[in-house]
Structure 1
């Protein structure tokens, strides 16, 4: 009798163990399937105000169901780290690249284009000195310095190399490649620009320099003549 009870108890425990193990396997399977449908996106840890600089410590990665996330959502913190918010945003909110402005496409505030530790300074430049006003924002230039000596000769030296251009005149972004197409769509505007091409010219170039370079360029600008030499876009950045 006693052995029968032990056998029954063993069978009951065996059934319970089988059921529990089966449920455990199903839960693991469901979890694995759900994980495959999750998408990791970048969200804010805290609220952000319009114009605020976004840093990596303000961001975190969270996983959401693929069905609840738009394809355009930011998926890497590197995409917006160092950018500026173009609107107010809430913590945990889904983020999109068009809600941020980075240094390359900033066109409203010059201070946002200047790298940390650097300064912006504008130098007067005529048509020839500015390579026929063909230098564009984000180009890199060398700066030549011409100074007349006491003997009347001209001393020329390369003052600075590979300097980044932040702006030309008041324009902080490169000219659109669609300028001709847009002009064709607007005949009146195109005719006006053709009649007065000087409208596209500028008389100053704004450079990104460190504090020591600022002193060098300002001193040289007072003593002699500066000329900008445009570098190729295909050169590797130093």
Structure 2
């Protein structure tokens, strides 16, 4: 082999080795570039009192019913109960009665609850309305399915002097304010909750009609209305059970029928 070729080959081998060494040196000594993580700023929050479960009308608040939940500060509106303003609200509101339905996770607003006291029913009543109670059973209370805030018709069954029976709707689409419930134990040892008294929301005139109907009726029943009927008028009543001119009157009831109406009298004659 010619000396020139040997020299060229040696130079090539040395150059290749030198290039490989430099490449290895550069790769091994390089520092990896780390990507910068974006900085996320959290929105300020406050603790808001919310319901731990769905609370129907008439239920009472207890430690299992409410709790504090983190809430965006910009989303807090007037009426919400915050820990910043009322730090002892969970304790202070024990026993408070729910005036309007509150759903699980919904903030507890001041206007949806009423202080627990002997005047709680007055807090549930709208202006101008009256609360009137009537006795019910499973048979006369739609099988026990009537609940507070439902709408019902009041149906009266009365006996005529001839011995026949009349069925009349004396009140229509009235709201149920409350159901007084008691525990009933069955023969097999199981227990069920049944209502014994229904409290209805009535106008003053409906209150008079209801009072007369309770005296005349062989039986009063509550017929449960559809929730779709809630917007229908609720002031209709059997006004013919009262005197026509609205003046104070005494209804003389005999054998389930009105036999005479005496106006302007201050005493009642019982027959």
Normalised by the length of structure 2, the TM-score is: 0.43
Give the structure with the larger strand fraction: 2
Higher RCO, Cα 8 Å, sep 6+: 1
Give the structure with the larger helix fraction: 1
